Structure 1
Amino acid sequence: MTVTSPKSARAAEWWRAKRKQVLWTTLVAVVLLVVGVLVARWLRGLPGVESFLEAYPGIVSPPEGTPVGIPVWLGWQHFLNSLFLLLLVRTGYQLRSKRRPPGFWTRDNTRWPRTKRAPRRMGIHLWFHLWIDALWIVNGVIYVVVLFATGQWLRLVPTDWAVVPNAVSAALQYASLDWPTEDSWIVYNSLQQLVYFAIVFIAAPLAILSGLRLSSVWPLEGPLARAVPEKLARAVHYPVMLVFLVFTFVHVVLVFTTGALRKLNQMYAGRDADDWVGFAIFAASVVVMVVVWVLAKPPLLKRIAATSGRVQG
C-alpha cells in the first residue's frame, strides 16, 4: 500500500491544475488565432484597407548611416540570451510552484563583506535564479553598450513616426497569412522594429527592476522600499516573463516559416546566405542548452553553491 504525504498530494494537485490551465490557454489561443486570421482576411478585402496597405507597405526606410547586415557578435548575444531566458523561466516556474526546495543556501560572511543584515537563507532554486539573473543583466549591459557603439541601435530604435501605421500594416499582413515582404539583413519591418525595441528597452528593464525589488539586494525598509511596493513588483515580474515567452514562440515560428536557412545564417553566422552554416551553429547551441538543462539539477547546483556559502538539505 502506497502512502502519499500531504505535501506530495498538494504538489501533484498543483501540477494537475497547471496542466489543465495550459490546455485551456492553448485551446483559447488557437480559437483566437483562427478568428483573427478570418477577420484579417475579411478586412483586406475592403477597398479602404487595401489603399492603406499600398500607402504603408510595412517598412520604413532606415536612416542614413544605418549598418547593413547583422554582425557575428549579435549571434553570440542571441545564444546567451536564449540560454539565460530558458534557465530563468525554468527556475521561475520552480519558485512559483511553492514546492519545498531540495536544499537551502546561506551566505558565508567569512567570504563576503559583512552587512548589518543577518545572512539570508534561500532555496537553491532562488539562489540559481538570482545568479542567472546577474549573468543575464551583465550580458544585456554588454549588448546595449555594443549596440550603440556600432550603430546597430539604428536598426532597433524608431526614428520616424511612419513606423506606427507601417507596423499596423505589417500586423494585418501577418494576421491574414499573406506576410509582408521583408529583408531583415537590410532593415526590419516596422512591426519587428517596434517589438524588438519594446523587448530590449521596455520589457527587459521591467524584468530587471521588478526582479531586483523581489530579491535580497533591495532594502526592506526606507524610501526605495516605499517607492516600489513588493506587491507591484510581483504583479509586473510574472507577466513580463509571459511576454518573453510569447515573443520567443512567435519569433521561432516566424524564423522557421520565412526561410529558416537564411534567417539562421543571419542570426548565428553573420552572413546573408542560404547554406547550412547558420543551422549547424544553431543546432550546436540547442545541444548546449539541452546539456545545461540536464546538468542544472540539485546535486550539481548544491556543490556550486557550497563554494560561496553553506548549503543544507
Structure 2
Amino acid sequence: MISFDAAHRAVHYPPDRRFRIWIRPSILIGIGIAILCAIVAAWIEVAVAGLPHVPAVPQINPDNFVGPHGFPVWVRYCHFFNFLFLMMLIRSGLSILMDHPRLYFNDDCTPGSEWIRCTPLEVPRDRIWTAKDDARYISPLVGTPGYRHTIGIARIWHFIDVHGFIITGVFFVIMLFDTEQWRRIVPTSPLVLLQAWNTWVHYATFHLPGEPNGFYGYNALQQLAYFTVVLIFGPLAISTGIAMSPAVVNRFPWYARIFGGRQSARSIHFLTMFSFLAFLVVHVTLIVMTGFARNMNHIVMGTDDQGHLGMYLGFMGIGVVVLSWVVAHCLSWHQPRRLQHALKSVTYPMQLLTLNRLTPRQKYSEQDISPYMWPNGKMPIRDDWKHLSEGGFEDFRLKVGGLVERPVELSLADLEQLGESEHITMHHCIQGWSGIAKWGGIPMEKLIELVHPKPEAKVVAFFSFGEGLYGGPYYDTQSLENLRKPQCLLASRMNGQRLPQLYGAPLRLRVENQLGYKMVKWIERIEFIESEKLLGKGEGGINEDDEYFDLLPNI
C-alpha cells in the first residue's frame, strides 16, 4: 500500500471502502429471460430432433488443405500487444468508472435513474452530496492506479494505452485484409448463423462439438465470436469513447445520438469492456479444454505440435503483462508528473490540430434541460464571499487585470450592460456525468474587447473564492483562442434564474468544448498572463497541479 499523508489518505483511502454492484431488476430480468430462452430452445431442439449436425472443419492435412491457415508472425505479435494494451485499458477504465460509479441511458444523470451502480450508497436527500462525494474506492490489484478519486492518473494510462490499442488494431485489420487471413474470421455465407446455432445447441446441452484444429479453421460460433470482437467491439469501443468528448458532442450533437446520447455511449463503452472480459474468459477456458500445449504453440510459436515451448513462452508473456501493471502502479505514485508530461507531449499537439479546432454549435431545447445537475467542488468558506452572498452579490466587483490596456472592476449590473447571451448546452464532467442547462451571461469575447489584452497576453487565469481539493485557491486557465469561441460565457444565470450559490455564484465560466473542471465557479477575479507556467506548479490549474488533470481536456 502507498503511504499517504493525512490529506491524501482522506481522499484516496477512505474508511468506507465497501464495494457492491446493483443492477436495475428490469435489466436483470430481461437478460435472464434472453439467456433462458436460448437455453430452453436448445434443449427443446435436442429433445425433438436430437443433436444437430456441426460441419467438420478441415484438420491437420496440409497437403489437401486450401485456404488461409496458421498464425503468421504479425498475427502473433498483434495478439500479444492487443492483450497488453487491452488489459491496461480495462484496469484504468475501471478506475475511471469508479469516480462516478453509476451508468445511465439518459443524459441528465438524475440519481435513481441509473441502470447499474457500483456503490452501496444511494444519494442522500438531506444534505449536499457532490459528485466527488460519490466516488468510490477500487483496489489497486484490480484498477490502475486504484484507490479512490485517482481519475487524473487513470486517464493518463487510458489515453497512453488507447494509442497502442488503436495502432495495433489498425495494423491488424490492414494485414488481415491484405492477406487471406480475413477468411478465417469473416463469415461469407448466411449459413454460418445456422451452423453457429447448431454449435450453441451442443454447448447449451453440455455436449462438446467436435473441436476443429484452430491452426486451420474455426467452427461457426468461434468465427462469429472472433469477427464480433475484432471488427465490432474494437471499433465500437473507440467510437463510443469519442462520443464522450465535449468538443465532438457540442460540435456534432448528432454523433452522440447515434448511440442514444452521451450517457448511453458511456454505458455501451462499459458494456464493450465487459464483453471483452467475457470473451477472454470463454476464450481461455476453451484453449485449456481443447489442448492447451498445442493451442499455445499455435499463437506463440506459429507451429502445430504438442511441444511445451509455446506454453512456457506464453506464460512468460503473461508475466510481462502482469509486470506492466506493477510498473504502471509504481510510476503512478512515484512519477506522476513525468507521466502527465509524457501524455501531454503526445496528446496536446494532436488536440490543438483536431478536437480543439471544433467550434461548439449544439442546440438544445427547454424540454431538454436536466431536472438534476450534480453539484461539485468545494463551496467557498471565505468570510468575504459569505458576506457578498448575504447581500445578493450587490457589492461584488469582478476585477479584470494583468496584461491588459484597460483594467476594470465590474459589478454584475455592469456586466449585464455589456450585453448578455443565452444558450442551452450539455455539461461534461471529467468524472463521467453530464447535464443540460441554460446558461446566461456575457460572452467572453466582449470582455476581452473591453479590456484590450496586450500582445504578450496569451492565457487568461480565473481565480475562485473556493478552494481546491487539497486546499489553496481554486484557479484554472484558458487560452485566448478558446475564450473567443462562440458559446463561451462568463455566466451569471442558470435556467433563467440568478446563478445559484451551489453552482458557482456570483459568476462561473462556460467553455463548451472542454470538461467541467476548466469552467471555474465562484469567480473572484480574472487575470491576463503570458503563460500558464507562471501560476501554481505551472500545469495550468489547481487540478492540473494537484490531481494531474489535462491542460486541454477536449475529451
Give the TM-score normalised by the residue count of structure 2: 0.44
Q: CA deviation at 1:215?
A: 4.1
Look up the match of 2:165: 136
Is 2:207 aligned against 1:175? no
Task: Please tell me the residue identity of whatever aligns with 1:276.
Answer: H
Q: RMSD in angstroms over aligned alpha carbons?
A: 3.4
C-alpha change, 1:6 and 1:284, in structure 2 (3 Å) is: closer
Task: Please tell me the residue identity of whatever aligns with 2:157.
Answer: F
1:112-148 CA-to-partner distances (Å, cap 9, x unmatched) read xxxxxxxxxx712112101211110111000000111
Aligned partner of residue 178 in structure 1, secondary structure: coil
1:213-234 CA-to-partner distances (Å, cap 9, x unmatched) read 2246x43522x23321322311
Q: Give the distance between the partners of 2:213 and 2:157, measured in 1 at CA.
A: 39
Look up the match of 1:75: 76
Aligned partner of residue 281 in structure 1, secondary structure: helix
Is 2:216 aligned against 1:186? yes
Q: Give the distance between the partners of 2:343 and 2:198, measured in 1 at CA.
A: 53
Q: Give the distance between the partners of 1:60 and 1:254, measured in 2 at CA.
A: 17
Verify the 8 A CA contact 2:55 2:195 in the aligned structure 1. Answer: yes
Q: Give the distance between the partners of 1:160 and 1:242, measured in 2 at CA.
A: 29
Is 2:253 aligned against 1:225? yes
Match of 1:12 among 14, 17, 22: 17
Give the TM-score normalised by the residue count of structure 1: 0.76
Match of 1:259 among 288, 291, 294: 291
Count of equivalent residues? 272
Look up the match of 1:119: none
Aligned partner of residue 187 in structure 1, secondary structure: coil
Task: Please tell me the residue identity of whatever aligns with 1:305.
Answer: Q
Identity %: 29
Look up the match of 1:115: none
Runs of 4+ in structure 1 over 6 Å off = 35-38
Look up the match of 1:282: 314
Q: CA deviation at 1:267?
A: 1.4
Aligned partner of residue 159 in structure 2, secondary structure: helix
C-alpha change, 1:164 and 1:89, in structure 2 (3 Å) is: same
Look up the match of 1:198: 228
Match of 2:276 among 229, 244, 259: 244
Q: Which is richer in helix?
A: 1
Look up the match of 1:94: 95
Gaps of 5+ in 2: 1-5, 24-28, 60-64, 100-134, 138-150, 345-538, 547-555
Q: CA deviation at 1:73?
A: 1.9
The structure with more radius of gyration = 2
Aligned partner of residue 248 in structure 2, secondary structure: coil
1:224-264 CA-to-partner distances (Å, cap 9, x unmatched) read 23321322311211111111110001101111111000111
Gaps of 5+ in 1: 23-27, 102-121
Q: Give the distance between the partners of 1:90 and 1:173, measured in 2 at CA.
A: 34
1:60-116 CA-to-partner distances (Å, cap 9, x unmatched) read 779x96212222221111111111111011001101111499xxxxxxxxxxxxxxx
Structure possessing the higher relative contact order (Cα contacts under 8 Å, 6 or more residues apart)? 1
Q: Which is richer in strand?
A: 2
1:272-312 CA-to-partner distances (Å, cap 9, x unmatched) read 11111211221111110111000102124542322454463
Look up the match of 1:294: 326
Q: Give the distance between the partners of 1:279 and 1:175, measured in 2 at CA.
A: 29
Q: Give the distance between the partners of 1:166 and 1:200, measured in 2 at CA.
A: 20
Look up the match of 1:269: 301
Task: Please tell me the residue identity of whatever aligns with 2:248.
Answer: P
Matches within 5 A, 1:38-57: 42-43=43-44, 45-50=46-51, 53-54=52-53, 57=54
Aligned partner of residue 261 in structure 1, secondary structure: helix
